[in-house]
Amino acid sequence: MALRPTPKCPRPPVSMCHYKDSTQKSDYNGPTTSQENNELNINFNDPGCWPSMTSRFRDLMVERGPYLMDQNNYFPNQNQAIDVATKSLEGLIKCIQNIRGNGFENSLNEAKKIALLINIPTDFPTTRKIKRKKYDLESDETETNKSVETIVKLQRYQSLDSIITIAYDIMTGVIYDNNFTTHKCLWDENYSENPQRYTSVLDRCNSLGLIDRCIKISSRQATKEELLPKHTAKHIDLLESSEHYNDEKLEQLSSKYDSIYLHNSTYKQSLLAAGSSIELVKAVVDGRVQNGMAFIRPPGHHAMESEYSGYCFINNVAIAAQYLLDKTSVQKILIVDWDIHHGQATQQMFYEDPRVLYFSIHRYEHGQFWPNLRESDFDHVGNGSGTGFNMNVPLNDTGMKNEDYMAIIHYLLIPLATEFSPDLIIVSSGYDSAIGDPKGEMMVTPACYAHITQKLMGLSCGRVVAILEGGYYLKSLAESAALTLRALLGDPCPIISSLQQPCKSVMETIGNVIYAHRHYWDCFMYSTFYKENVPEIHYNFFDEKPEIYQTRNIYPKIDTASFDIILNNIITETKLFNPKFRIGLISKLIEHSNNNFINSDIYQYLKSKMGNLHVLKEYQSTIEEFNKAFSFEYIKEILNKQKYIGEEKCTTKTNNELIEDNLFEFNTFYFSVGPLLQIIDSIFVNEIKSGIFVSSISNLSKNDVSSTLNTSIIGANYAIKKYYLKRILIIELNENVTQMYSNDHNILVISMHSLLNSSKNINGNYHINISWSKKILNEAEFTTMMQHLILPIAYEYNPELIIVSSAFYSNINNINGIQMTPIMYGHLIQWLSTLANGRLILYEQDAHDNSTYRNKCLLQCSKALLGKPISKLQVKNLLNVETKDILLNNIKSHRNSWKSLQF
């Protein structure tokens, strides 16, 4: 129960760990094979079997290193595993065999897929008799000297979905190029859009070691043919002609456009930004990476069809999106624009196209903030077949905080995006809404962007691309962009401060947006924020457009000293938690061995879908260790509640005597609670980020003693006493399975149950009962409940640990709670895991069968905790007035206790 580290595997002989320089000659003639088991036999002591690989390959394997450990054979530590994996294809094959339990042929196939993904040199041979069943690469079974490159060409993936199932961490692509520093203003050194924006972002990402963990995608210039679908030939040709202008002519041309400067390098750098954006989205759609981020400039979302504007010349995001629509099988794209300025050009370019949903959060102030356009308001929803596919969220006040932005995400973006169900998400990621930016004047912290990013990653099977737009306070720009990239890599979201009540202005905007889109989206027609009152429209900008724009002294130098102090404090207080393993699994401590679990049907099922998962080693605590976490009175209460439910019974014995006299009950406690305590210990010693307790199949009836034990409450109290936690959130999905509730202010319990089978209604500040009028919850109702009720409360509570307790019964008659689909469980875990630094535990209550339903639930939850893509929710045509009324009643029941619900 309490942590007692397992001794490490003995270190192998020095000769096994010592590898000579790969340039040394060797008599090694390649790996030998066993015809009987089709496995690869490698002499690990022979340095000649380690031809050198590229640094990019090694960088990838450093990220995957923890998953390449084989504690039974050659790799007792991460570095040796990396060495084996990176020094030859054969070494990688061996690692995959250790991880996956594959035979040679399957391991070889996976190795070749990875070789393709990271573009490693593929001119080295594989010397192996391959039994050709599927691919028939050779007509006979002789030694082949074909290169991996040749073989891979014959084994291209048939779909994007097949490539993203490789059993490694998220593969994130990144594009950057030093040529992005050449474009600059020659006549105003204080111009906001400058090369330091690019270098500050890259420097911060490098300082956190993020770039080295990504797969670098090669940059390139876009062709004119790729630009013409969104820009006129005249627009492109004029920009090209500026390559040969002198300084005076450059400034003269710049003065014809709003907020523009030109440089002799502007044309080629704009082509490079657009071409790089295309390459990144292609890499995601082709399956070379799962997601990615482009560090490019100049930005693009203000560049119109035939007009330069707002530092932008070519619309990078629009060009990339149009390329996918024209050249690939992608049919639906969501563009999320969180830059503080409205991307009016992106809106114009897709205003009548239902294949692109444009969602923009921008400062507006009823038209008084740049670009000062009437079309930036909430009532511009698209035109023609594109009606309803343009959503503007205008902010009419400054000083917006995390809670205001997260209200927009929860109440508008996630429900809308879930219903739209995009194939890909592109983020116009400007960071001028971040704290300290002189243009935005908002108060969004860098960590908030990480939370939004990971929420988007739960959609579109994780295919998210962030393309840099604005951001002009270098420190907040760099930190925000770095935490966005870190989120794409799948690292835990940093904890943000407790979210309070959103401001009145933003809630008015949310209501207006919902009203404008009520006829186009079910999630808004039946939203709790939908009101019949027609919103008023105010537009307060009437200045005429000048013929000549000012080009100098527009941006006086700003003293950032005060914000530097604030942001330095935020950065210092932001703990970037990144444990060795993303997930740890454990089952009941039976016979003091985890071999039973590793050989169990459920583990083998999960392994077949995701590869080997980290199984926590068992260790047994002493009663003395147990007493440190639990008082005598607490143990007495637990055992009495177990054995004497509904009776008055007490004892004055010591802990040891109490346990000895109640050995059966204590063993029940030990087997039920011990694994949970072990997961908690493993999380807080930084071994794992999250954990799953997988229940053993049990024949206990629902009235047996173990089912009266509230394991989650006990585990929460253990974490509070041992690790001094102040806030633990428990999500209980099966009402009446547990009987002992907590009055501890350090624990918040949210219970979900069906009114059809409810015997009690416990409500209070620290126990929230969410009642539903039916036992089966559909995916649209689930999304609405999560975004409108559970997540706002959870973000306000701001837990340090989350415990989700549920039983995965395929038979609805076996549960007292609400039946959910496996996909809903996956999204529940994914949405909650952005909180608490990702420290989340899934506790499976006693399992009574090993159904397909149960297996799929555990699979989706495991994927969510690993950061792997989970299946999409299906929410269309599933909401109704009854859903809205039930949700409103639940919100009203808890509104007085939670500021986040007081709207």
Place of tokens 């014959």: 154
The residue type found at 520 is Y
CA-closest candidate to residue 273, choices 226, 219, 202, 311: 219
Helix (H/G/I), strand (E/B), else coil: 687: coil
What is the β-pairing status of strands 32-34 and 39-41? Answer: antiparallel
Distance CA(449)–CA(337), nearest Å, equals 12
Q: How many helices (H) and strands (E) would you count in the chain?
A: 33, 17
Q: List for the chain the helix, strand, coil content (%; round to 5).
A: 45, 10, 45
Query: CB-hemisphere CA count at 13 Å for 236?
Result: 16
Report the catalytic residues.
302
Distance CA(861)–CA(830), nearest Å, equals 8
- Other CB atoms within a 10 A radius of the CB of residue 25 amount to 6
Give, for 678, the enclosing helix (H) or strand (E): helix 663-684
Place of tokens 């399956």: 287
Assess contact for 593 and 6: CB atoms under 8 A: no
Helix (H/G/I), strand (E/B), else coil: 876: coil
Q: Across-strand partners of 806?
A: 844
Helix (H/G/I), strand (E/B), else coil: 306: coil
CA-closest candidate to residue 294, choices 281, 307, 304, 309: 281
What is the β-pairing status of strands 688-693 and 728-732? Answer: unpaired
Reading the block at residue 655, the tokens are: 């802990």
The residue type found at 587 is S
CA-closest candidate to residue 828, choices 876, 863, 880, 801: 863
Reading the block at residue 741, the tokens are: 């509730």
Distance CA(356)–CA(461), nearest Å, equals 17
CA-closest candidate to residue 464, choices 289, 208, 213: 289
The values of phi and psi at residue 887, to 5°, are -65, -45
Report the residue count for the chain. Answer: 903
Helices (H), 742-815: 779-785, 791-797
Reading the block at residue 68, the tokens are: 């390449």
CA-closest candidate to residue 91, choices 148, 59, 52: 52
Could you give the maximum distance between any two Cα atoms of the chain, in Å? Answer: 94
Cis peptide bond N-terminal to 792, omega within 30: no
Q: Across-strand partners of 391?
A: 359
CA-closest candidate to residue 803, choices 614, 638, 673: 673
The residue type found at 47 is P
DSSP 166: S
Residue 265's contacts (CB-CB under 8 Å, 6 or more residues apart) are 179, 182, 183, 243
